[in-house]
């Protein structure tokens, strides 16, 4: 990857002789490091906008907005497309704003895609991305409004978990986009205060390659998960946090707590939990509204994690109902058992990979199902098994943070005669291209 000018709105670049290197001539083949004037079009997956290089190849231009004319510096290439950064804005979109983070911009931190975009416009871009993926991969013309979630209206101070990189000198920071370089960062504007005030970024971590800080409004002491690659960490700094390493508690506490709809959840640091402070509540309410589980019903929670949806389902089906939760991670299952222990519903916890045979043979015949897979999605085989249950569930809630795998899996259900009853999208990841979805699927008839 070539060097790019740092800063949110850098000036035109020059070559060694001070002459601007331009590859805008029709038919010219751009090289990495060259600058091209281009008018960019729609947003694309990955956070950049689509432009066209002089040789006809598609350009994905980060730090740009649809309709803008920019000077784009080529940063990478394949046989079919180019990657580029907008290093100068020649004609700006009305949706462009000054980035609130000093580390945002070409050649800088790769953590945020949309620091240069007004918050309302970010949500419109995410809706565009979702609609495009649904049409292309699922064959569905469906557009939703990405819903704003309570919090800082600027899209800041929402991350309860941040994985900081550590350089060879033990300095903490975040990685440059598409690079292993570490940019020292004392405060991350999209992190909550408890993360930034933990003291982790001001300390030196020799021999460590990553520190993940996990905090919540319900937890007094954050926890740091240390990744050393190989060998036990030594000479760790004195920080007023818990410290975890390879599942071992080097310094208490080892867990973080979250309050959702009147219930307290305990989650081991390093385990999965939604990163936005409002995510647990927003998603639980959306799932319950979409499924409308009734007292006495049988519910299934696939990819159950620490039990966010298992708890919501157990509360809804009550003492005459049942919940079966399936989760592969042993530490998540340990948290799940604690987090659902106080509910009166019949509870069955299965520790297993979510495979087609598990869905077909071990979960029984649930009335309602929640599946919240990782970013890769449930997959065609699991979806085929789920929509093939006989009798089928009366409703399935699919929770996803990645439009493309979700659209692929939705296609499986649609091809089996199921319907998309509703789809909601939530802006749980401001300043990034990511969006969280809750879809309700219903069987034929």
Residue identified by tokens 């971590």 is: 205
pLDDT tens track for 199-222: 999 999 999 999 999 999 877 799
- 3 state SS of 414: helix
Question: Mean pLDDT, to the nearest integer, of 304-326?
Answer: 98
Q: Judge whether residue 178 has pLDDT over 50.
A: yes
CA 37 from chain center: how many Å?
A: 32
Report the pLDDT value the prediction gives residue 399, as an integer from 0 to 100.
98
298 and 321 in contact (C-beta within 8 Å)? yes
58 forms beta bridges with 52, 81
d(CA 290, CA 295): 15
Closest CA to 163 of 150, 151, 174: 174
Helix and strand numbers, DSSP H then E, in the chain: 8, 22
307 and 341 in contact (C-beta within 8 Å)? no
Report the pLDDT value the prediction gives residue 8, as an integer from 0 to 100.
47
Question: Mean pLDDT, to the nearest integer, of 91-101?
Answer: 98
Tokens in use for 111? Answer: 């953590």
Question: Mean pLDDT, to the nearest integer, of 169-177?
Answer: 96
Question: Mean pLDDT, to the nearest integer, of 262-291?
Answer: 97
pLDDT tens track for 325-361: 999 999 999 999 999 999 999 999 999 999 999 999 9
| Per annotation, catalytic residue among 49, 101, 109, 401 | 401
Q: What are phi and psi of 331, to 5 degrees?
A: -70, -35
147 and 126 in contact (C-beta within 8 Å)? no
Report the pLDDT value the prediction gives residue 67, as an integer from 0 to 100.
97
164 and 213 in contact (C-beta within 8 Å)? yes
Give pTM, 2 decimals.
0.92
For the domain bounded by 258-442, which CATH number is listed?
Answer: 3.40.50.150
Closest CA to 379 of 402, 362, 395, 363: 402
Tokens in use for 46? Answer: 């990955």
Cβ atoms within 10 Å of 199's Cβ, excluding its own: 15
**Cα torsion angle, 236, 239, 245, 248, sign:** positive
Which pLDDT band, with edges at 50, 70 and 90, does 2 fall under? very low
61 forms beta bridges with 49, 84
Q: What is the DSSP letter of 59?
A: E
CA distance from start to end of the chain: 54
Closest CA to 361 of 398, 386, 341: 386
Pairing of strands 58-62, 49-52: antiparallel
Q: Judge whether residue 416 has pLDDT over 70.
A: yes
Report the pLDDT value the prediction gives residue 217, as an integer from 0 to 100.
80
Alpha-carbon Rg for the chain in angstroms: 24
Q: Judge whether residue 20 has pLDDT over 50.
A: no
> Over the chain, what is the mean pLDDT?
93
CATH class in words for 1-96: mainly beta
Q: Where are the domains of the chain?
A: 1-96, 161-252, 258-442
Whether 112 is catalytic is: no
């Amino acid at each position: 990857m070539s060097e790019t000018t740092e800063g949110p709105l850098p000036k035109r670049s020059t070559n060694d002789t001070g002459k601007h290197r331009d590859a805008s001539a029709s038919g010219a083949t751009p090289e990495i490091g060259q600058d091209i004037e281009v008018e960019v079009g729609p947003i694309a997956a990955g956070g950049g906008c689509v432009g066209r290089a002089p040789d006809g190849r598609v350009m994905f231009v980060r730090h740009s907005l649809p309709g803008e004319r920019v000077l784009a510096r080529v940063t990478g290439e394949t046989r079919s497309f180019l990657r580029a950064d907008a290093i100068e804005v020649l004609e700006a979109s009305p949706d462009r704003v000054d980035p609130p983070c000093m580390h945002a911009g070409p050649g800088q931190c790769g953590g945020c895609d949309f620091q240069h975009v007004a918050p309302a416009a970010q949500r419109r871009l995410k809706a565009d991305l979702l609609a495009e993926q649904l049409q292309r991969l699922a064959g569905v013309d469906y557009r939703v409004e990405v819903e704003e979630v309570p919090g800082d209206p600027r899209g800041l101070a929402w991350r309860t978990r941040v994985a900081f990189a550590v350089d060879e000198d033990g300095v903490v920071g975040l990685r440059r986009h598409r690079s292993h370089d570490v940019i020292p960062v004392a405060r991350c504007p999209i992190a909550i205060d408890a993360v930034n005030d933990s003291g982790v970024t001001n300390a030196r971590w020799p021999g460590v390659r990553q520190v993940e800080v996990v905090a919540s409004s319900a937890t007094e002491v954050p926890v740091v998960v240390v990744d050393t690659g190989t060998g036990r960490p030594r000479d760790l700094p004195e920080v007023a946090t818990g410290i975890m390493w390879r599942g071992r508690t080097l310094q208490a506490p080892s867990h973080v707590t979250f309050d959702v709809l009147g219930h307290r959840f305990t989650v081991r640091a390093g385990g999965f939990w939604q990163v936005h402070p409002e995510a647990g509540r927003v998603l639980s309410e959306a799932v319950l509204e979409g499924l409308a589980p009734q007292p006495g019903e049988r519910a299934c929670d696939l990819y159950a994690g620490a039990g966010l949806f298992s708890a919501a389902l157990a509360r809804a089906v009550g003492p005459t109902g049942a919940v079966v939760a399936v989760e592969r991670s042993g530490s998540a299952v340990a948290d799940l058992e604690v987090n659902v222990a106080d509910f009166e519903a019949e509870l069955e916890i299965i520790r297993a990979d979510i495979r087609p045979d598990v869905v077909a043979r071990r979960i029984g015949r649930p009335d309602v199902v929640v599946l919240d897979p990782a970013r890769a999605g449930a997959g065609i085989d699991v979806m085929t098994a789920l929509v093939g249950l006989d009798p089928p569930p009366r409703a399935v809630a699919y929770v996803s943070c990645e439009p493309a795998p979700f659209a692929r899996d939705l296609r499986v259900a649609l091809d089996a005669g199921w319907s998309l009853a509703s789809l909601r999208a939530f802006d749980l990841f401001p300043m990034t291209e990511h969006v969280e979805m809750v879809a309700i699927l219903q069987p034929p008839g």
